[in-house]
């Protein structure tokens, strides 16, 4: 008995030692990969001669200062347009994410062999394609303006909203669901009274968080012609009006700060 215990202890010590050794080897491999990537991108691919010396870099940065304060009133309309793009794009994503979440949740999807893959595919393609790419697609299809920006924001946000919602649906407490099913309720009634009340706080919190992110996204949509303050920044940079460009950056920072404050307050009220 004592000998078996000693043998088991020896085996455990060897397994622990081997596990620690494998862990160190894994960390070393990850470090080597990171260093190799850094060398390839920063050392090999970067043209340091083209960047110039520190004095030239500092001179370029100083061209943006001081910002042109007189240009700030002209940014009010683009800032409001950016804000509206973020609001409407988030609203579109909220509406479209509801059926996608329904399809993508294993426990409530209408017909698993068909609807579940459809829901997961929409989630994947929405999160995989960058918002600038979506904006380019919709600008090509719909023309310049705020509407392509709204569509791009909405399409980019569906994946985030529906993925978190579907995962929350799959992890809901089964007790209330079983109790409602015991009353003879149909599937839609089970969803309405057993699942929706459990996921509403998280869904609203995610919607507010997504709106906060979309303010930042909407700020750069104009670079590709999708409306908002981004187009003003793009034009000023193209015309080498660095002081006006700096004023535009300040306006974007103010807009983002306001969105951050509002979203934090709303999340505190809901969650």
* CA–CA dist 174, 194 (Å, integer): 8
* CA–CA dist 255, 79 (Å, integer): 7
SS (H, E, C) 101-118: HHHHCCCCCCCHHHHHHH
Q: What is the pLDDT of residue 217?
A: 87
Residue 9: partners with Cβ closer than 8 Å, 6 or more residues away: none
Q: What is the pLDDT of residue 42?
A: 78
Q: What is the pLDDT of residue 59?
A: 79
The single residue listed with the structure tokens 């307050």 is 265
Q: What is the pLDDT of residue 13?
A: 57
Residue 232: partners with Cβ closer than 8 Å, 6 or more residues away: 75, 78, 222, 248
* CA–CA dist 150, 138 (Å, integer): 9
Nearest one of 234, 57, 60, 39 to 135, comparing CA atoms: 234
Q: What is the pLDDT of residue 271?
A: 63
pLDDT tens-place values along the chain, 271 residues long: 555 555 455 555 555 655 567 777 888 899 999 998 888 887 777 777 776 667 777 777 888 888 888 888 888 888 898 999 999 999 999 999 999 998 988 888 888 888 899 989 998 898 888 888 888 888 888 888 888 889 999 998 998 889 888 888 888 888 877 788 787 777 788 888 888 888 888 888 888 888 888 988 888 888 887 778 888 888 888 888 888 889 988 988 888 888 888 888 877 777 6
Burial letters for 210-236: b for 16+ Cβ neighbours within 10 Å, e otherwise? bbbbbbbbbbbbbbbbbbbbbbbbbeb
């Amino acid at each position: 008995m004592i000998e078996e215990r000693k043998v088991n202890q020896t085996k455990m010590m060897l397994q622990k030692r081997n596990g620690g050794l494998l862990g160190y080897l894994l960390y070393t491999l990850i470090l080597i990969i990171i260093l190799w990537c850094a060398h390839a991108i920063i050392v090999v691919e970067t043209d340091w001669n083209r960047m110039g010396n520190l004095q030239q870099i500092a001179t370029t940065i100083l061209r943006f200062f001081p910002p042109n304060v007189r240009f700030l009133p002209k940014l009010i309309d683009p800032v409001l347009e950016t804000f509206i793009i973020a609001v409407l794009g988030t609203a579109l994503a909220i509406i479209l994410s509801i059926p996608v979440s329904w399809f993508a949740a294993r426990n409530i999807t209408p017909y698993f062999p068909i609807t579940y893959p459809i829901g997961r595919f929409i989630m994947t393609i929405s999160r995989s394609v960058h918002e600038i790419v979506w904006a380019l697609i919709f600008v090509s299809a719909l023309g310049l303006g705020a509407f392509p920006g709204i569509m791009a924001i909405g399409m980019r946000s569906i994946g985030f909203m529906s993925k978190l919602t579907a995962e929350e649906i799959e992890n809901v407490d089964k007790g209330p669901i079983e109790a409602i099913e015991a009353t003879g309720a149909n599937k839609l009634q089970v969803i309405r009274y057993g699942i929706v009340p459990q996921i509403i706080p998280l869904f609203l919190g995610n919607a507010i968080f997504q709106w906060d992110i979309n303010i930042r996204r909407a700020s750069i949509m104009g670079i590709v012609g999708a409306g908002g303050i981004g187009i003003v920044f793009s034009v000023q940079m193209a015309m080498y009006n660095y002081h006006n460009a700096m004023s535009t950056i300040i306006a974007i920072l103010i807009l983002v700060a306001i969105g951050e404050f509002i979203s934090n307050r709303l999340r505190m009220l809901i969650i």
